[in-house]
Amino acid sequence: MHLSDIIRFYSNEKVKSAIISLARSREVVARFNDHVGKRPDSLIYEEDVIQLARNGATSFHASMERWKNPLLLRQDMKKKELDELRIGWDLILDIDSPHLEYSKICADLICQALEFHGIKHYSVKFSGGTGFHIGVPFESFPKEINGQDIRLLFPEGARTIAGYIRDMIKQQLADRVLEFEDIKSIIKRTGKKFDELVVEGELDPFKLIEIDTVAISSRHLFRMPYTFNEKTWLVSIPIRKEEILSFDKKRAEYKNVEVNLGFLDKFKINEAKQLFIQAFDWRMNQEIKAEINELKKDYDIPKEAIGKEFFPPCIKNIYKGLEDGRKRALFILINFLRSVGWDFEAIKKEVFEWNKHNPEPLRESYINSQLNWHKKIKGSYLPPGCKNKNYYLDIGICKPDETCKGISNPVVYPFKKMKKMRRNGR
């Protein structure tokens, strides 16, 4: 790539404006082809972009975190010092695979997962290589989760959400890849062996594609939109979600680039609340699952569905119908019934019957969309834990009885109750 072409590209008024627009309150580091510029650094003026390009800068990389003053950052800063300086952070999921077609499938599924959680204001951009970046701006986050200030939950908050989404789409991702091409074609394309790709009889899609969770760390940088990727000399360009699957890399050749979309420039206050609640609950439930599996060992359940007589008070209270919190109740009910052995046809019949008891029933289309998504997920997710105040207490269904004492999740209740009944000889 000739320096003159790079300077000409960064001289474009729209390109400079797009870069500076995203640079505000962020650490921004220039890359000079094969080495990285000084840190900390920032970009304030559009002319800084062109001046750096003239000095040999080939791309610009910004922090996921937003800072009061990025220039006060130091390599040896402790977490407390970083927390005091940080004013927020954006969620940016980095989808990477050596094979663009697999990255497309993964990016499309992540967009579906975000929309499943009610998020419509998110951004997608091609990385300039063989992957995509999907971002949700800080303004869409809830102010706190489980009593903790969201601003302080970096990098653990980003890692939790990335891990949750990774787990959520795993089976669909494997299925979609196999719809795209069979295992023989995958082996030929990737050069990997069958045993590397197939684990316990099923394709592990994360042997082909990675959603960056490890590299999400404090002061982690991502390639800014409308800057070059030095490996390909393609430009990292924002695209619409509808364009992911049909995306052609020719659009990212610098002579073809059109500056018509921003990145992380649209949001809706609190829109990501559901995602945060469910992701952090997923993290807590990883530990609860081990407890439930131990309780299940004495029973043929969930090979057989547990009857309603063993349901906890919160679930029975959902059945009475609700004035508020119906969507959260639906989420609880579907996951609870799956976790105690109910099949999908039975669950579908049950939730539509339950919906009749709500003073203002949920739309059938909404219920069907939730059922269809859950049906795609292999296995089951536990319902939210009992301590999750955003659910049971908020919607007024937590009315504990004696059996509730000491349990961490409603799914534990039936097993504890059956164990108690067996002990009492009933």
Q: What is the DSSP string of 122-135?
A: -EEEE-SSS-EEEE
Helix (DSSP H) and strand (DSSP E) numbers for the chain: 14, 17
Mapped onto helix, strand or coil, the DSSP state of residue 223 is strand
Judged on CB neighbours under 10 Å (0-12, 13-18, 19+), 284 is: middle
Q: Which of 208, 223, 60 is nearest to 132 (CA)?
A: 223
- Residue 171 to residue 97: CA distance in whole angstroms: 17
CB 177 within 8 A of CB 205: yes
- By C-alpha distance, which of 171, 375, 150, 397 is closest to 279? 150
**Distance (Å, whole) CA 228 – CA 58:** 6
Q: What is the pLDDT along the chain (426 residues), one digit of tens a residue?
A: 899 999 999 999 999 999 999 999 999 999 999 899 999 999 999 999 999 999 999 999 999 999 999 999 999 999 999 999 999 999 999 999 999 999 999 999 999 999 999 999 999 999 999 999 999 999 999 999 988 999 999 999 999 999 999 999 999 999 999 999 999 999 999 999 999 999 989 999 999 999 986 567 788 899 999 999 999 999 999 999 999 999 999 999 999 999 999 999 999 999 999 999 999 988 887 767 766 666 666 554 455 789 999 999 999 999 999 999 999 999 999 999 998 989 999 999 999 999 999 999 999 999 999 999 888 776 667 898 888 878 899 999 999 999 999 888 999 899 888 877 777 765
Distance of CA 21 to the CA centre of its chain: 25
Cα gap 313→213, rounded to integer Å: 38
H-type helices in 304-411, by residue range? 313-319, 326-339, 344-355, 364-376
Amino acid identity for residue 160 in this structure? T
H-helix or E-strand containing 90? none
Residue whose token pair is 């990477």: 96
Q: Which strands form 59-63's sheet, in the order they lie side by side?
A: 35-36, 28-32, 59-63, 221-223
Expressed in percent and rounded to 5, the helix, strand and coil fractions of the chain are 45, 15, 40
Indicate the domain borders of the chain: 3-252, 288-423
Asked if the bond preceding 359 is cis, omega within 30° of 0, the reply is: no
Residue 121 has φ and ψ, to the nearest 5°, of: -100, 85
DSSP string, 29-85: EEEETTEE--SS----SHHHHHHHHHTT--EEEEESEEES-GGG--TT--HHHHHHH
pLDDT in the model for residue 387: 81
pLDDT at 2 (0 to 100): 94
Place of tokens 């640079």: 23
Torsion of CA 66, 71, 73, 74, to 10 degrees: 160
Specify the pLDDT at position 295. Answer: 60
State how beta strands 210-211 and 91-96 pair: antiparallel
Q: Please say whether the beta carbons of 262 and 268 come within 8 A.
A: no
Nearest alpha-carbon partner for 234 in 93, 132, 342, 320: 132
**DSSP conformation class of 253:** B
122 within 8 A of 135, measured Cβ to Cβ: yes
Residue 189 tokens read as 């394309």
Residue 381's pLDDT is what?
77
**Amino acid 285: pLDDT:** 79
Q: What region, left, alpha or beta, does residue 146 occupy, with left being phi > 0 and alpha being psi -120 to 50 degrees?
A: left
pLDDT for res 300: 45
Residue 410: its H or E element: none
The pTM for the full model equals 0.84
Tell me the β-bridge partners of 223.
61
Q: Determine if the peptide bond prior to 155 is cis (ω within 30°).
A: yes
Report the distance separating Cα 351 and Cα 206, nearest Å.
34
The conformation of residue 252, written as its DSSP 8-state character, comes to: G
- Half-sphere exposure in the Cβ direction for 121 (13 Å, CA): 16
Dmax (CA) of the chain: 86
Angle between helices 273-296 and 156-180 (to 10 degrees): 80
User: What is the third-level CATH fold of 3-252?
Assistant: DNA primase, PRIM domain (3.90.920)
pLDDT at 417: 87
CA distance 406 to 386: 10
Cβ(103)–Cβ(132) below 8 Å: yes
